[in-house]
Structure 1
């Protein structure tokens, strides 16, 4: 799994279309304050698929549900109002960083996330789906 913070020349619809074909989740930096929070949401999404308890059809959408602490994709999408000038990417596929940046006409920005999550961030992920 790769985590990147980027700025793209594409419009939001174009970014989402490219992300879907690349196996990448694009989301607002306001949804995650730490790398640990992102990694927990990714782990829970992977476990959901492994245990066949996933609510979404793709890993990227399941990840977004966990990150937002939601069971409903419409609610998760409503929370994920990112700007093409500043958003985070999580890649679940094999695409390298350079290929992702080129496909999204993007430039990498400093990640600017804490390493560790605080208790409320972790609680929002884990309890939001109960």
Structure 2
């Protein structure tokens, strides 16, 4: 019997990045659901309970950090592992995300293969 496939949620307001990440993860054998905004991503995390979420920090209105904070406050989904995607590579942004509870950061531009490796490492722990 095969082990269950990990479920990964992707949220990025940039459709090209969202599609690239989702496709790479699907080709890696994961079940993926993709969303273009923070509120939809947060609702899906609560309903679908993915194993991992890849969240863009710079989404309008409700950004990836807001979603991360809400997830960490919700006992039903607080253990969801989260990777933040960001083009903001400052130390303060990195500290902010890690303090909020991110499991990892991936900086844009990124290699899809590197992102897949990061996902595999996090899911293996």
Q: Same fold, TM exceeding 0.5? A: no
Calculate the TM-score normalised by the size of structure 2. 0.28
Q: Which has the higher contact order (CA 8 A, sep 6+)?
A: 1
